[in-house]
Amino acid sequence: MPRLHRTLFATAASLALIGSLAACDGDRSKSAAADSGDPLAQYRANPKYKDFMVGEKMSGYVFASPETQAMQDDDFENPGMLAVQDGETEWSKVEGAAGKSCASCHQDAAKTMKGVAVTYPKFEPKRGKLASLEHRINLCRTENMKAAELRWDSKPLLGLTAYVEYQSRGLPISVKVDGPAAPFFEEGKKFYYTRRGQMDIACAQCHENNAGMNIGVENLSQGQSNGYPTYRLKWQSFGSLHRRFEGCNEEVRALPYPRGSDEYTNLELYVAWRGNGLKSEAPSVRR
């Protein structure tokens, strides 16, 4: 597609999305006649989703197509399991001047890592700020293994993150937002409700105000993070939550922050807190 055509297409898509969000925010009564004014009622009424909800909180699994759900449900079909296998290999791989691997300190991940991932991000004293699971893995590498940091969304770091997350699959998300994490939580909350980009849209407009609504062919979810890292069909690859944040920023025509940035890590804590109690599904499959 010529560059001019791509630009015109992107502009038209942006205008359509702005109009759709404005219509949803400004006049939800039009949909009330169709579904009693609650676009989420159909999901609450479906017993299939009882394990994917906690109160009003709904996993992204609920909003996925039956085909996507089936792909996630079957470990032989779930492409994210390839990342878990990569991580299992990385776990025992000796690297760095200390001649250690992850297993040198943590032994059997199935035992030592169970329940760990669902508590991240958290305040890390050695950083003086929040650490995501990816940050913690890299901190272990630099301090204990004397090895180089792994690049965000690189195959080794995605693999290790997926492998550690996998040990907590089925356990509830349980991040803490008090104590030293409190100011970072507030920054993440501020980010979530701040309009940004040429489209002047905040995270909350899609995932809070209009969850369950359709915008074009897109069915808006609540934007929960309990499935990350995930295999996303749009990407045709496995990726981190910060990669998804980056994509959201680009979609509203805002300059994205670097993956691993303080801004995205603070936002990650706020988003995780919104999903406290939902079961971890990593590695999930999302559209």
Categorise residue 260: left if φ over 0, alpha if ψ from -120 to 50, beta otherwise: left
248 is catalytic: yes
Q: Which of 24, 102, 203, 248 is catalytic?
A: 248
Q: What is the 3-state secondary structure (H, E, C) of the chain?
A: CCHHHHHHHHHHHHHHHHHHHHHHHHCCHHHHHHHCCCCCHHHHCCHHHHHHEECCEECHHHHCCHHHHHHHHCCCCCCCHHHHHHHHHHHCCCECCCCECHHHHHCCHHHHCCCCHHHCCEEECCCCEEECHHHHHHHHHHHHHCCCCCCCCCHHHHHHHHHHHHCCCCCECCCCCCHHHHHHHHHHHHHHHCCECCCCECHHHHHCCCCCCEECCEECCCCCCCCCCEEECCCCEEECHHHHHHHHHHHCCCCCCCCCCHHHHHHHHHHHHHCCCCECCCCEEEC
Please state, in angstroms and rounded to a whole number, the distance separating the CA atoms of residues 164 and 134. 10
208 to each of 1, 192, 225, how far by Cα in Å? 35, 10, 14
**Which residues are catalytic, by number?**
248
